[in-house]
Structure 1
Amino acid sequence: MTIQQVFARQRGSEAVGGGPVATASTAQDTGLLLLRVVFGLIMAAHGAQKLFGWFGGGGVDGTAQFFKASGYPAAKFLAVVAGLIETGGGVAIVLGLLTPLAAAALLGDMVNAAGIKWGGFFAPQGLEYELLLACLAGVVALTGPGRFAVDRSLPVLREHRIGYGGIAVLLGLVAAAVFLIIRR
């Protein structure tokens, strides 16, 4: 087998054992879709807890009380903002819609949440869960949504560029820092 045949096989242009070869690209795109759906639904559910009190959440008023106790000014406004970021960002991540922007928002939100829980690592009092969610947002920002995403139909986002992901990560971290600074 020549080197060209090996690369052709890896790209899926040859059949093996009577069926098409699953390409690395297809496997990666499918993995990214699974990651986006699970991560996005988790984030959207957290947002629904904050906005509507669903899934045992406190709704806007309960979230505002938590934010106020955590030292945030304008706690009710920030409760709505956090709920919208998590719900809208989660749905956008599931769809692969404006992925760098959605990932930046969720990254900032989760870094901020980790900052509130600073002091221990392991759940339930620690920040391991928030850190994992922040990491997932960073992964999606840097890798892009994959082929199975609405972004593929948007001319500017059709091809993911690492620069978009890098800017998204930077934007998310700056936003988190601003909100952590305004805490009393």
Structure 2
Amino acid sequence: MSNHVEAQQQRGYDIGLLLLRACLGLTMAAHGAQHLFGWFGGVGLAITAKSFSANGYLAADVMAVVAAVSELLGGLGLALGLLTPLAAAAIIGTMINATAVKWSNGFFIPKGVEYEIVLAVAAAALALTGPGRFAADSFLPVLRAHRLRYGVSAVALAVVSGVVVLLTRS
């Protein structure tokens, strides 16, 4: 394959990753802002904390803040391609808990877990593939060249932290 064709393919991959990061990241950031600030028609932190309490989370106020900040900052990180593995881990861990809370409602929305699973898997895919060249990580020496081990470590961190938080539920 010629260098020109390879360069075009790489640009296509990078644009595709940018679109995925922007869509997933901005969706999650907006969702976090709904929980944290009540923006975009959200319920705000007080009602989010009540929901956490009703779902058996100890220290529901703290857990609501952690989840909302994880969604907001993880989403912004993904959208910008900044610290992509950690941003993805924030989303994955939060979606593991959201999935567990809603698991008994079945798979399909409006009450099921399909949306949360798609968000978690998309974040995991970005952690494993890297953000592409159109990302802030391209300017960070440690993350400039994507390393699969960073993605695998981030997914493992998300799963472990998500499960640990689930184990604190009463």
TM-score (norm 1): 0.89
How far did 1:179 drift? 1.0
* Number of residue pairs matched by the alignment: 169
Could you list the per-position Cα deviations for residues 75-133 of structure 1 after superposition, in whole angstroms to 9, with x for gaps in the alignment? Answer: 11111111111111111111111111111111111111101111200001110000000
2:96 and 2:130 mapped to 1: Cα distance? 20
Superposed, 1:117-132 pairs within 5 Å as: 117-119=102-104, 120-132=106-118
1:76 and 1:9 mapped to 2: Cα distance? 54
Larger Cα Rg: Structure 1 or Structure 2?
A: 1
Q: What are the ranges of 5 or more consecutive residues in structure 1 without an aligned counterpart?
A: 1-5, 13-22
Aligned partner (choices 93, 97, 120) of residue 134 of structure 1 = 120
How far did 1:8 drift? 3.2
| Corresponding residue of 1:46 | 31
Could you list the per-position Cα deviations for residues 151-180 of structure 1 after superposition, in whole angstroms to 9, with x for gaps in the alignment? Answer: 111010000011100001101111110111
1:66 and 1:60 mapped to 2: Cα distance? 10
Higher helix share: 2
2:123 partner letter = A
| Corresponding residue of 1:7 | 2
1:65 corresponds to 2:50? yes
Aligned partner (choices 22, 27, 31) of residue 16 of structure 2 = 31
| Corresponding residue of 2:131 | 145
1:178 corresponds to 2:164? yes
- The structure whose RCO (Cα within 8 Å, separation 6+) is larger is 2
Cα RMSD for the two superposed structures: 0.9
Amino-acid identity (%): 55
Q: What are the ranges of 5 or more consecutive residues in structure 2 without an aligned counterpart?
A: none
TM-score (norm 2): 0.96
1:89 corresponds to 2:74? yes
1:157 corresponds to 2:143? yes
